[in-house]
Every structure is written in structure tokens, then in C-alpha cells.
Amino acid sequence: WCFYRALSLLIGVGFEAPSIVNTTCNERTPWCTVEHWITLSCLYIGSIFYALLISSISYVVVNMNKGSSNLSMQLWTLNEYLKSKKVPHEMRDRVRNFYRIQFAEGKMYDEDDVLRLL
């Protein structure tokens, strides 16, 4: 029962939480033992599915606007490059304006690559 109690603490069923399983098991019968282990197994399986659901939702949210994030990353890289080469401010503004006009929709993609895929 020590191993069972340790696993139940890990899942959050702990000593302080109300019992999830049948509370009419006052003595350790084989059926009560099986019931406790099945319940604990189901809790762990449910936790795994919950973690998969959260990771899938976060993946969708992160990749929802990939074009804009690519453009932001490209602009950040461009700004860092222009700073490191000590390009004058006028020229930096002109280059940034070119990028803003070229990619006005907020999407950063290579048109040749897209056409090649078609």
C-alpha cells in the first residue's frame, strides 16, 4: 500500500483529498485492492490525455500565425544586421520600409518556393 499511496500523492489524490474510490472498503479485500489500482490507473491515463490535449491546443495556437512570426523574426534579424554594420539611420529606415511594403499583408514567404510546390 505504500507504493499505491506514493503514486496517489503524485497524481494529487493525496492524504488530504477526499477519496475518489469506493469508501465502503473498510478492510483490504482483493476486490478493494483491484478497484483502487484500476482507479489510479484511470487517473494516470486521464492525466496523460489531458496533457496531450493541452499540448495540441498550444501547438495550434503557436502555429496559427506562422507567416507573421516569420516576418517579425526576419525584421529582427535585419535590424540586428544593420546595427552591426553601422548602416546610417536613413538607410535602415528605407530598408525597413521596403520590407513593410513588400510584405504588407504581414506574411513572410518565398514566392518562388510556393510556386515550385504547385
> In terms of Cα–Cα distance, which of 83, 81, 60, 70 is closest to 109?
70
pTM of the model: 0.50
**Pairwise pLDDT comparison (94 vs 23), residue with the higher score:** 94
Which run of H or of E encompasses 59?
Answer: helix 30-62
**Pairwise pLDDT comparison (69 vs 26), residue with the higher score:** 69
Place of cell 479485500: 29
- The CA distance from 56 to 88, in Å, is 45
**The predicted structure's pLDDT at residue 22:** 52
